[in-house]
Amino acid sequence: MIDTLIQGILLGGYYAVIACGLSFMFSVMRIINLAHGSLAVAAAYGLWLLASTFGISPFAGLLIVLPVMAVAGWMLQRYLLERSARGGALLPILTTFGLAIVLDNLMFEQFGADTRSLAPFIGSLSYDSWELPGGIYVGKLAVMTMASAIALLGGLQFFLSRFALGRAIRATAEDPDTAGLVGIDARKANALAAAIAMVTVGIAGAFLGMRATFDPYSGGPQLLFAFEAAVIGGAGSLWGTLIGGIVLGLAQSLGAQVHPQGFLIGGHAVFLAMLFARLFLTGVPFLGRTGFSRTGLPKIRAALRSTP
């Protein structure tokens, strides 16, 4: 039982990593990127390709994949999201959904239906474990994932509060119109935020590939996990995603103990239960209500912005 709980908590580290980019992008640009999971899978394939053809270890591979992801994020914002966001709040959902379909099927075309894993390329790390008192084993990779999640969230928090660029992103998230008036290029701040989000997606892709297997259509489930962790965490505050990830990981691990299909059912059920509880207890279901959400009169501001 304790073993299950520990595994569940550590699994939450992975969910925190994959959720933080989704939540970050939502809190800055108000866009839920439906291609989020597919992009993580694409990063995993990138690492797999580097490892299987050039023998580059996935950790070294990140040095190549993460900059590529950053550029992809920048371009995603500049060429797709910025344009579709002008058409209203609903259009980016459709744009990113279309992008996810393109990505998934391109990966299928390229890599076929076989499941892949990065585990063979990281030596014994994928199955090494430490023994805790009481005969409990914890996987080194799972601990590393959790440590990375904490480092990533902490680093992001530090960047957002201590660096001028981080403050510019927060200011843009809160009020892009006024951000422009104080000298911030909101388009640039958004593109930078998207680039950062995609770097976190790249890291998530690495852990996805190392801890399990993936196939071209793994993006959908990963998006759902990221979304669930972000919403359970009541995100916007970055640390919320860690809590959300842990709750989701625990629910899945406990569910798996009950029934073979309980892993997914447990996760989805806890997500809906949390949503339900929050809806009816506080009336605030949303992502990003705390932290750096916009307040005041966004509609009026939007109207002012759109006027030539």
Partner 1 sequence: MTILSVQNLNVHHGLLQAVRDVSFDLAKGDVLALVGANGAGKTTLLRSLAGAHLAASGRITLNGDDMTAVPSHQRIARGIALVPEGRRVFSQMTVEENLLLGKSSGRTGEWTVNRVFDAFPNLLPRRHAKTGHLSGGEQQATAIGRALMSNPDILLLDEVSLGLSPLVIDRVYAQLQTLLTSGTTMVLVEQDLGRAMAVASRVICMLEGRVVLDKPAKGVTRDQVTKAYFGLHREGTGRAAS
Partner 2 sequence: MTLASNGISIERWTRSSRLALGGVALALALFAIAPLTLGAGAIDRMTALFIYVILAAMWNALAGFGGLVSVGQQVFFGLGAYFTIRLADTGLNPFLALFAAAIITGAISLPLSFFMLRLKGGEFAIGMWVISALTHMLVNLDRLIQGETGTSLISLNVYDINTRRVVIYWLALASMAALLGILFALLRSRAGAAIQAIRDNEDAATSLGVRVVATKRLLFVLAAFGIAIAGALWLATATTFQPKTYFSVQWTAYMIFMVLIGGIGKFEGAILGAVLFFVIETFFGAMGVWYLIGLGATAVLFSLFLPQGLWGEIERRFDLRLLPVGYRVKLPGPPKIQWNQ
Residues forming the site for partner 1 (CB under 8 A): 161, 164, 167-168, 170-171, 174-175, 177-186, 291-293, 295-296, 303-304, 307-308
d(CA 55, CA 51): 4
Shorter beta-carbon distance to partner 2: residue 217 or 239:
217
In the list partner 1, partner 2, none, the entry touching 93 (Cβ below 5 to 8 angstroms by class) is partner 2
Shorter beta-carbon distance to partner 1: residue 55 or 183:
183
Q: Is residue 94 a contact partner of residue 192, using CB atoms and an 8 Å limit? A: no
In the list partner 2, partner 1, none, the entry touching 298 (Cβ below 5 to 8 angstroms by class) is none
Return residues touching partner 2 (CB under 8 A): 26, 30-32, 34, 80, 83-84, 87, 89-95, 97-102, 105-106, 108-109, 220-221, 223-224, 227-228, 231, 259, 261, 264-265, 268-269, 271-272, 275-276, 279, 285-287, 299
- The minimum distance between CB 64 and partner 2, in angstroms, equals 25
In the list partner 2, partner 1, none, the entry touching 292 (Cβ below 5 to 8 angstroms by class) is partner 1
Shorter beta-carbon distance to partner 2: residue 74 or 121:
74
Rounded to 5 degrees, φ, ψ at 114 are: -60, 145
Shorter beta-carbon distance to partner 2: residue 2 or 272:
272
CA dihedral 252, 256, 257, 262 (to 10 degrees): 100
- The minimum distance between CB 193 and partner 2, in angstroms, equals 16
In the list partner 2, partner 1, none, the entry touching 308 (Cβ below 5 to 8 angstroms by class) is partner 1
- The minimum distance between CB 272 and partner 2, in angstroms, equals 7
Shorter beta-carbon distance to partner 2: residue 35 or 152:
35
Q: In the beta sheet, which residues pair with residue 213?
A: 117
- The minimum distance between CB 171 and partner 1, in angstroms, equals 5
Shorter beta-carbon distance to partner 1: residue 67 or 296:
296
Shorter beta-carbon distance to partner 1: residue 277 or 297:
297
Sign of CA dihedral 153, 211, 192, 237: negative
- The minimum distance between CB 191 and partner 1, in angstroms, equals 14
In the list partner 2, partner 1, none, the entry touching 276 (Cβ below 5 to 8 angstroms by class) is partner 2
Least Cα distance to 198 among 9, 28, 8 occurs for 28
CA dihedral 66, 71, 73, 76 (to 10 degrees): -150
- The minimum distance between CB 196 and partner 2, in angstroms, equals 19
